[in-house]
Amino acid sequence: MGDPNASIPTPQPVFYRPMYGAQGLATAQTAVFFVSQAAEKADIRAKFGLHKETIAVKGCRSVSKKDLVHNNATPEITVDPERYEVRVDGELITCEPVNTVPLGQRYFLF
């Protein structure tokens, strides 16, 4: 038998239990297939006997980094291979070394 507190790196035995949406045809009702418009038109759902719903994607070829709401920056990043200096849009970026890091070496006991 294993450690009931899981305080050692190998807490055995592990018993996997059935999870929500993982039984029978429930997976087909909780997920979809994204397919091309041509595949949707060819009715691949019936052709291959798929249980999941198929949804045709549209207009995704023109999506670019600029369309991302929270991550649309495209800076020019250069690295000097001799000095190991990193510049973002021409500006040197630096950071001071830290004394401690979260979940550092002392937390990895095994």
As averages over each run of 10 residues, the pLDDT of the chain (110 residues) reads 61 73 84 94 95 93 91 94 96 92 71
Task: Find the farthest-apart pair of alpha carbons in the chain and give their distance in angstroms, rounded.
Answer: 61
Q: Could you tell me the pTM of the whole model? A: 0.47
**What is the predicted pLDDT for the residue at 62?**
92
Tokens of 51: 């249980």
CB within 8 Å of 29: residues ≥ 6 apart: 21
DSSP per-residue string spanning 40-78: HHTTHHHHTT--SEEEE--S-TT--GGG-SS------EE
pLDDT of residue 75: 95
CB 57 within 8 A of CB 34: yes
For the chain, give every domain's residue range.
Answer: 26-59+68-96
